[in-house]
Chains A and B, each alone.
Chain A
């Protein structure tokens, strides 16, 4: 006796959250059944393995049919085939678009192309996430990217509107899309210590301050692409390090302001020129696409690492950067040579000055060197 056909269709579509999770995680029916058996469901309900198998198959089939609709969540709301209560619909969508931290860290900043998709099995073995799940997540990124790529308006709003995601998830997707679009390198060993959350934080600030949308809110792609003009203007910062007088003046301004307030004052004083040079060079290079991609690598190399080697505490880094950008304003020569807009941008480039420090601290936790550097980096961004 073999079962040829076995289905269950409810007027209200039954959705088992546990099975949905297993399905999203890319387990095959057999694996899912095994996992469910292990969870002790048989003992709880007195069901047999065959019943569980049939139930799992049924749910998988339903999810498979729903998947098509989940690709365009508004469709799920308007379709007539599955009667699902709104709360369940939201859950389905949210879970479907949720992603694994480990996975997103692997593909962040990579081009969402077929080539990357081919590498998914490597990522799968590396992260221990099933290939199926990797594919789903990758396809989700790609789908969101394609849809919002050429859209006007705020990136987060667009994502929310077209994919009905929660605010938090929409922000994460905005970060992913932003990184993918600018192809920021995040995979280098040096950057491994940074979590997706860190990058997402950076992305949010960059979207707010560096993109076209930050300048003019009615443009295609506004939140995705960096403002070329702004990057061009950043070149002019070079004067901060090229002009010896200016550099000295800047240093003295910063040092005076920070004297006594910084635990690592002497190191700072000694290193000021190097640090300043590093920062300004990174900023000035951003006109080249390649350098844009390496932005994070460069920042870590040129700024974070020196600070880390000197054991700067996080608060000191913050003070320093605040003061660093603030004192530029009072540089006479600088003010003469550069226009007002540059100032604005310059500030934005060093948003530590324009953003409330609290936001950076929220993510900060311990005081180990490692974390200092991380927070410093965030702060800098």
Chain B
């Protein structure tokens, strides 16, 4: 069904001089959509033309509306020669296609040229009239909302979380088409930009269709990536989580369900066998697990799971051995067989959800309270593929007419058909799924996929966190009954996710289990690795910190299959070492859990790089980590002994220092009082004590204790020595700085409103002479450390601050070049407030929210926080959301002072507690929702008021950018749509533009500018969940040339300062504390 697109070109400014003689420009504009082009008049002799054109109207299918970008070209009119292009603007009109988002795009857009960069600006107004389409066979999916945010967006409520959606589109890369030899670099770049814009539009539309099919209305955690495969093409792929979202404008409608304790719904025992509906292939028996996990799988993979067993586990026991992308027939046949059997199982399962739940994956990293029941551990799979072998039958991409090849059905999969990338990914996902099953989990959360390509070798990676989810959210219309469930769970909410999901007797790997330190009922592993954000209800002691493992491995240069084999042989060792490093560093920090783990393996011509980043925290529910124990191989040598003990002392000192630095003071637990003494923990605590007393004692420790309290590092050669040294060389950030790669820094919750998002890129050239693994490792380590130091120095004016969402990306653009790209956001926080965590501003807002707050607060804090969690989906307005995120902290504080002798008493009378809580819940929920109702219209109105003055002052409004899903001290009132932009910049005058640094610096600044301009044109004032997905930089200094491709995405939003909200609404007297932290607002 058609829609009508209307475009008006208003004016231009700061245009470049195109006519040397007059120092002026005769500019006109071409507006193109699909195959229709309109032109404005030529505005003679001006650098600030006022076209004020009529409305150009395009009547188009909504399919086209989704796929095509609006293309605006500014040209200089030449009477005698061809008109010169000044530059272009591509506008994605997708945000105009769903009702709640933007209604008009209007503003100044930078005019961008791939050779010259930004050349002036153009003022454009775009509108869309969309006719409702009721055709059920439609090809478009207008109305499906897309979010990059990997959590439920702040002003929405998730009704159902349907699950995984994925799609990929393949086309020929224009850069490698024959025509590229005769066209200009500009034409080639533009063809590429346009093609990718088209492909991502198409991809989004197709994913939208899938979502509609699932009866969802939104995609959350949408991640789109490009694979520039060179000769073999260009792949655009995307994954996301389909959801049904409700706008939070009418929270009242939701209330009754929560407040009626009517239905007697039986709780399903999650631990053993979750609701069969939730996962497709029946109950997971140990036998089946084995079949999957030890299959001679084609791709190399390995499960890194929730324990230190990684060390004792040789990589081979993981999942088969690494193998080349292409392999012999028998293996393949085996694989097929297996896949087939899996499919049969699925086919046989009678559930109606089976089709859609092909992969029970979720790209989300943060969840509504209660969604996550248990976390198993990180699952990952990698596969090495050769690109030159692909001959895709549907590979007939012609410019502007893309077709993708998609395997429609698994059943049609047979060995005669050529492999496609779809099949590759399906294979990897299958493996992930089986790993998850091996961990006793039916779902994978925090799921992501990535590739690394070098020449014709491609490593596909997928990773996620195996988890058991609460089935309620996965089904239609099951919001009721939530209350009951919650009540039963209440006691263990804050530690529940740490409990092992797998069967203790049938553990997929040797792990060391203890009883949960929080509830004392369930078993927990001693270390937990996850790819998700720290759950808001988790109890954390102290602060978190960024932990990185860095690794390089040299590899012989080789061709095709030999190369692929070499890589896949190296991979297991790399993963093993990365995990070892992570584990060591975690122990060194005195922490016991990793969140947001992201392991990136990058392949280059002659080396492989591994970089793992995660945020380490101390989870109160998990046992105290033991120290690191160094053992020498040659105990007779006296001096060696001495050296070892010296080193040991150093390590112990570091651990002690780190504990102090990150304020890790776990409560001294006296097991006896609890009444059920568990032997292991007691031993542990004794060991720990002895360790902290003196280092000498530690060296004497009898390791035959067998319990892995102290983590043993064997030093048998210089390599190991190096490793230990490198452990110790990691310098902590300067005082006043914290860093993490998750959304929020555990242990800090009083953010002030100053934020600074930045991207930093570094490329180093290695000296090619006699490179060794050690030298390489050192170089790489130095590179990352220096980069971090540099960041700390640059941002020193923001102290005290925290670098959040630190995202490192490594690439190897050439033989001896290593490129590291970092994007992160620095957020300031109030140091004074950091100390008194219980007095969070959020709680104050809560206080203000309820008139009978005193009564509410009389309950122990635990209850207070529980009451919040008890909303199955609390109306997630900003402050409430953060309220729940903060509530973990007071609890943690409390834990330190709690008298455990009362624990049993409390347990015995927990029924009474529940009654109390039920009251609290009812009270709390009513109160809070009322506030929300009041606040939101005020917020909207307020923003309108607010937005006016800055515009009046200067024409350029401030647009904030952040990789986080929220803006500290502000409330997101509206999501305007997804920003997904791809830019190419090329230069043939590299020296003149300030060399590579000057070139890239300018380009990145331009990319930021264009993102900001688009957001501002949509009426937004911030980008959240911003991510630079790709930054491919190529240079040829000899030819004075360079080229760079950048792909960024994020969600355009409108936010309102909380302080403004308060001033306007003036519902309650502003607490001094709150205002003081938000008043220091600086335009960022």
Residues on A lying within 8 angstroms of B by beta carbon are 1-14, 45-48, 50-52, 54-55, 57-58, 61-62, 64-65, 75, 77-83, 85-86
Chain B 726-782 interface residues, beta-carbon cutoff 8 Å to A: 734, 756-767, 779, 782
Q: Are A83 and B958 in contact (CB under 8 A)?
A: yes
CA distance A51 to B785 in the complex (A): 11
Residue of A5, A14, A61, A83 most packed against chain B (CB within 10 A): A5
Q: Is the interface of A mostly helix, strand, loop or mixed?
A: mixed
Q: Is the CB of B759 within 8 A of A9?
A: yes
Residues of A within 8 A of B956 (CB): 77-80, 83
Is A65 in contact with B1001, judged by CB distance below 8 angstroms? yes
Residues of B within 8 A of A55 (CB): 790, 793-794
Please give, as numbers and ranges, the residues of chain A lying within 8 Å of B997 by CB-CB distance: 5-7, 57, 61
Give the CA-CA distance A189 to B792 in the complex, in Å. Answer: 53
Residues of B within 8 A of A81 (CB): 110, 118, 1005-1006, 1008-1009
Say whether B93 faces chain A, with CB atoms less than 8 Å apart: no
Do the beta carbons of B734 and A46 come within 8 Å of each other? yes
Closest-CB distance, B82 to chain A (whole angstroms)? 28
| Residue B877 lies at the interface, judged by CB distance under 8 Å to chain A | no
CB closest chain-A residue, reference B817 = A4
B761 pairs with A83, CB closer than 8 A:
no
In B457-502, the 8 Å CB interface with A consists of none
CA distance A279 to B526 in the complex (A): 98
The one of B757, B764, B998, B1009 that contacts A10, using a Cβ cutoff of 8 Å: B757
Which chain A residues border B1004 with CB–CB below 8 Å?
A: 7, 9
Shortest beta-carbon distance, B658 to chain A, in Å?
A: 17
Q: Which residues of B lie under 8 Å from residue A47 when comparing CB positions? A: 789, 792-793
Nearest CB in chain A: distance from B363 CB, A: 25
Q: Do B756 and A65 touch across chains, with their CB atoms under 8 A apart?
A: no
Measured between beta carbons, the chain A residues less than 8 angstroms from B1012 are 11, 80, 83
- A61 touching B998, Cβ below 8 Å: yes
Instruction: Name 27 interchain pairs, CB-CB below 8 A, sorted by A.
Output: A1-B765, A1-B779, A4-B765, A5-B819, A5-B997, A6-B761, A7-B762, A7-B997, A7-B1001, A8-B790, A8-B794, A9-B760, A10-B757, A11-B756, A11-B758, A11-B961, A11-B1012, A12-B756, A46-B734, A48-B789, A55-B794, A61-B1001, A75-B14, A77-B956, A79-B14, A80-B956, A83-B956
Chain B residues lying within 8 Å of A54, measured Cβ to Cβ, are: 786, 790
Given the complex, which residues of B lie within 8 Å of A5, measured CB to CB? 761-763, 819, 996-997, 1000, 1033
Q: Check A80 against B793 for contact (C-beta < 8 Å).
A: no
Point out the residues of chain B lying under 8 angstroms from A46, CB to CB.
734
Taking A9-B1008, A57-B997, A65-B1005 as contacts, is the C-beta distance between A78 and B789 under 8 angstroms? Answer: no
Cα distance A58–B794 in the bound complex, in angstroms: 10
Q: Is the CB of A80 within 8 A of B782?
A: no
Closest chain-A Cβ to B959's Cβ sits at a distance in Å of 7
Closest chain B residue to A89, Cβ basis: B954
Give the number of residue pairs across the A-B interface with Cβ within 8 Å: 142
Whether B948 sits at the interface, judged by CB under 8 Å, is no
Known A3-B764, A77-B955, A83-B959; judge A11-B757 contact (CB<8 A). yes
What is the bound-complex CA distance between A8 and B955, given in angstroms? 26
Is the pair A82, B954 in contact by a Cβ cutoff of 8 Å? no
When distances are taken between beta carbons in the complex, the residues of chain B under 8 Å from A78 are: 13-14, 954-956
Please tell me if B1002 contacts chain A, counting CB pairs below 8 Å: yes
Residue of B nearest to A87 (CB): B1083
Contact across chains for B758 and A10 when beta carbons are under 8 A apart: yes
B517 within 8 A of A: no
Are B791 and A2 in touch, CB under 8 angstroms? no
Complex: A79 Cα to B783 Cα, angstroms = 34
B1005 and A82 contact, CB distance less than 8 A: yes
Assembled-state Cα–Cα distance A7/B796 (Å): 17
Given contacts A80-B118, A80-B956, A83-B1008, contact A6 B756 (CB under 8 A): no
Q: Looking across the interface, which residue of chain A has its beta carbon closest to that of B1037? A: A4
A180 to chain B, nearest CB (A): 23
Which chain A residue shows the least CB distance to B759? A9
Contact assessment for A86 and B954 in the assembled complex, using a CB-CB cutoff below 8 Å:
yes
Beta-carbon contacts of B993-1018 to A below 8 Å, as 1s and 0s?
01011101110111011001100000
Closest-CB distance, B1013 to chain A (whole angstroms): 5
Q: Which residues of B contact A (CB under 8 A)?
A: 13-14, 108, 110, 118, 121, 734, 756-767, 779, 782-783, 786, 789-794, 796, 817, 819, 953-956, 958-961, 994, 996-998, 1000-1002, 1004-1006, 1008-1009, 1012-1013, 1033, 1082-1084
A1 with B14: CB separation less than 8 A: no
A47 to B787, CA, bound (A): 12
Contact A64/B118 with A11-B757, A52-B793, A79-B956 known, Cβ cut-off 8 Å: no
A62 to B997, CA, bound (A): 11
Complex Cα distance, B121 from A3, in Å, reads 35
Known: A11-B758, A11-B1008, A65-B998. 16 other contacts (CB 8 A): A1-B764, A1-B767, A4-B763, A5-B1000, A7-B761, A7-B1001, A8-B791, A9-B1008, A10-B758, A11-B756, A51-B786, A62-B1001, A77-B954, A78-B954, A80-B1009, A86-B953
A7: chain B residues at CB < 8 Å are 760-762, 997, 1000-1001, 1004
Q: Which residues of B contact A61 (CB under 8 A)?
A: 994, 997-998, 1001
* A183 nearest CB across to chain B (Å): 28
Bound-state CA distance A75–B956 (Å) is 11
In the complex, A330 Cα to B997 Cα: how many Å? 75
Provide the bound-state CA to CA distance between A77 and B760, in Å: 25
In the complex, which residues of chain A have a beta carbon less than 8 angstroms from the beta carbon of B1002? 65
Residues in B neighbouring A14, C-beta threshold 8 A: 756, 794
The CA-CA distance from A4 to B765 in the complex, in Å, is: 6
Chain B: minimal CB distance from A295 (Å)? 37
A64 to B998, CA, bound (A): 9
Max chain A Cβ within 10 angstroms of own Cβ: one of B13, B997, B1004? B997
Given contacts A2-B765, A5-B1000, A9-B1004, contact A80 B108 (CB under 8 A): yes
Q: Would you give the shortest CB distance from B391 to chain A, in whole angstroms?
A: 37
Cβ of B791 to closest chain A Cβ, rounded Å: 7
Evaluate contact between B790 and A2: CB separation under 8 angstroms: no
Q: Which of A4, A9, A11, A65 has the most CB of B within 10 A?
A: A11
CA of A138 to CA of B13, assembled, Å: 29
Q: Which residues of B contact A8 (CB under 8 A)?
A: 758-760, 790-791, 794
With CB as the reference atom, state the residue of chain B lying closest to A64. B994
Q: Which residues of B contact A1 (CB under 8 A)?
A: 764-767, 779, 782-783
A residues less than 8 Å from B1009 (CB atoms): 80-83
Contacts of B110 in A (CB 8 A): 80-81
- Give bound CA distance, A77 to B955, whole Å: 8
Nearest residue (CB) in B for A12 is B1084
CA gap between A79 and B1005 in the complex, in Å: 12
Report B750 CB to chain A, min CB distance, Å.
22
| A4 partner residues in chain B, CB cutoff 8 A | 763-765, 817, 996
Contacts of A62 in B (CB 8 A): 1001
- Least CB distance, B19 to chain A, in whole angstroms: 19
| Chain A, Cβ-Cβ closest to B1003 | A9
Bound-state CA distance A64–B1005 (Å) is 13
Measured CB to CB, the nearest residue on chain A to B1007 is A9
Partner of A9, one of B758, B762, B817: B758
- Which listed residue (B756, B764, B1005) contacts A2, Cβ 8 A? B764
Q: How far is the CA of A50 from the CA of B994 in the complex (A)?
A: 20
Decide: B762 and A3 in contact? CB cutoff 8 A: yes
In whole angstroms, how far apart are the Cα atoms of A376 and B438 in the complex? 98
**Measured CA separation A7–B108 after assembly (Å):** 27
Q: Which residue of A lies closest to B798 (CB)?
A: A14
Minimum C-beta distance from B427 to chain A (A) = 37
A75 to B955, CA, bound (A): 11
How far is the CB of A153 from the nearest CB of chain B, in Å?
A: 21
Contacts of B789 in A (CB 8 A): 47-48, 51
Contacts of B1083 in A (CB 8 A): 12, 85-86
Residue numbers in B under 8 Å from A3 (CB-CB): 762-765
Q: How far is the CB of B812 from chain A (nearest CB, A)?
A: 13
Q: Which residues of A contact B118 (CB under 8 A)?
A: 80-81
- A29 nearest CB across to chain B (Å): 12
